[in-house]
């Protein structure tokens, strides 16, 4: 029997550059595997920084300035991701693969139109 080819997934509201955001849209933030490693690392570093600031009873007003300096050092030192591809127009961490704080490379591929296909709103279409 001949194999039926699926229509391409372009035009689906869950489609993003060949990847599928359906699961993420269903349960936003639930699947940690989709997250950008660099942003995760920065978030952990921020939590640690806040704990230390609290332990050392740093004045509330001084916290943001201290963090800004620490963050500059952190961001310069290492990106913790071998797959990072610099893109000045992209959101933090200025990576070609980041989408809403997630790593596109970690999302499942869209294999073509499936039962979850939903047309994108006119302004969502690329």
Please tell me the distance from the alpha carbon of residue 48 to that of residue 45, in angstroms, as a whole number: 5
Site string for ligand SF4, 104-123 (x = CB under 6 A): -x----xx-xx-xx------
Give me the residues paired with residue 99 across strands.
Answer: 102
Length of the chain counted residue by residue:
126
Provide the minimum distance between the beta carbon of 8 and ligand SF4 in the complex, in angstroms, as a whole number. Answer: 8
What are the structure tokens assigned to 19, written together? Answer: 């990847």
Please tell me the distance from the alpha carbon of residue 67 to that of residue 75, in angstroms, as a whole number: 12
Give the residue, chosen from 34, 42, 84, 107, that forms a contact with ligand SF4 under the rule CB under 6 A.
84
What are the structure tokens assigned to 86, written together? Answer: 């610099």
Stretch of 26-34, 50-58, 60-68, 98-106 contacting ligand SF4, by CB under 6 A: 98-106
Stretch of 41-49, 52-60, 61-69, 103-111 contacting ligand SF4, by CB under 6 A: 103-111
Provide the minimum distance between the beta carbon of 123 and ligand SF4 in the complex, in angstroms, as a whole number. Answer: 17
Does residue number 53 form part of the binding site for ligand SF4 (CB under 6 A)? no
Q: What is the 3-state secondary structure (H, E, C) of 45-111?
A: HHHHHHHHHHHCCCCHHHHHHHHHHHHHHHHHHCCCCCCCCECCCCCCCCECCEECCEEHHHCCECC
Does residue number 41 form part of the binding site for ligand SF4 (CB under 6 A)? no
* Contact residues: ligand SF4, CB under 6 A: 9, 12, 14-15, 20, 22, 36-38, 81, 83-84, 93, 95, 97-98, 103, 105, 110-111, 113-114, 116-117
């Amino acid at each position: 029997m001949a194999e039926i080819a699926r229509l391409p997934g372009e035009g689906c509201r869950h489609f993003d550059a060949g990847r599928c955001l359906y699961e993420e849209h269903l349960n936003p933030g639930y699947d940690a595997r989709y997250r950008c490693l660099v942003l995760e690392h920065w978030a952990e570093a921020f939590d640690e920084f806040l704990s230390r600031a609290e332990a050392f009873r740093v004045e509330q007003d001084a916290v943001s300035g201290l963090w800004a300096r620490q963050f500059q050092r952190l961001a310069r030192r290492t990106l913790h991701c071998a797959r990072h591809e610099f893109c000045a127009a992209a959101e933090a961490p200025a990576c070609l693969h980041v989408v809403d704080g997630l790593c596109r490379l970690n999302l499942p591929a869209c294999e073509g139109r499936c039962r979850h296909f939903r047309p994108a709103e006119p302004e969502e279409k690329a």
